Amino acid sequence: MRIGNLDLGERPVALAPMEDVTDASFRLICKELGADMTYSEFVSADALIRNIAATTRKLEIHPEERPTAIQIYGRDVDSMVEAAKIVEQARPDIIDINFGCPVKKVAGKGAGAGMLRDIPKMLEITRAVVRAVSLPVTLKTRLGWDHDHRIIVELAEQLQDCGIAALTVHGRTRSQMYTGTADWEMIARVKENPRLHIPLIGNGDICTGDDAVRAFRHYGVDGIMVGRASIGAPWVFRDIRRALAADAGDTVPPELTVAEKMACLRRQIAESIDRIDEYRGILHIRRHLAASHLFKGIPDFRATRIAMLQAPTPAELDDVLRRAEEMVRNAKL
């Protein structure tokens, strides 16, 4: 799959942009474990123009995580153009436009998925950003605002005509948020449109290697994007790589051991503390620990989980993680 001059190879797998999740450290870990491309956290166009420090930090890219896209969102043409020009100076490989975020504080103000209620403005912003920068511009959106307005097949063509280099479609409407199941049949309909010639990346409910194989085999997408399944489990990319390699008859990379998975979590903790500070770094990483599938289904784990999510210092958290690792190992025997 190619985006502009960027060759991502066959059946690429991308890490989805997620606020408070896809910081530079996490992106690099996912890259090392098999992600072909990474996306930044959401970057507010308005905050970027105002030079808000927390927003400008999101433009930092580690050389080894490339190729990387920085994703911007906003509801105003001029601010999105200005933000895109600022982002271009940070030299990502791609600039991505967020027209898919469903949360109220974004979509409720007309940005993100909120733009699905104002298609003319969506197209105007897209055309203006494409014209304003020399980097490839891609876009992520949803099927439509709600079930009665699933307009993605026609919209994909219109967005292509605006000059985007690739399109990512999350298989839910804005009204669904993250409930129900992603509609991959609708994503397939977008791909089947003979007028669509840009790459199509499918997103939604890719949680396992089997899900990834199915997305490519049955729905014909050019690439896939993994979001929530990576939180607390960056090794999902290794699992997907193993499944895709087996499906293609290639050499299958080894599965990560429990110790290697725990090392990933410890690295996230350490780098989160280094990046922010001890107190906020631990708070930041709790989302990953709470979501990690590594601890799902472990007998009598509740008290350990509570202790893991309440540990106030790195030393106390490491002590809890040692107990947790032993419990995971015993459960797998």
Q: List the catalytic residues.
A: 101
Tokens of 224: 């896939």
The CA distance from 28 to 218, in Å, is 30
Consecutive H or E run containing 278:
helix 278-291
Tokens of 116: 């699905």
The CA distance from 50 to 331, in Å, is 51
Tokens 């509570």: give the residue. Answer: 306
Distances (CA, A) of 323 to 267, 291, 301, 326: 17, 18, 10, 5
β-partners of residue 202 are 169, 224
Provide the phi-psi class of 59: left if phi over 0, else alpha when psi is between -120 and 50, else beta.
alpha
CA dihedral sign, ordered 159, 160, 166, 172: positive
Q: Which pairing describes strands 2-3 and 6-7: parallel, antiparallel, or unpaired?
A: antiparallel
Alpha helix locations (H) across 50-151?
53-56, 77-89, 104-107, 119-132
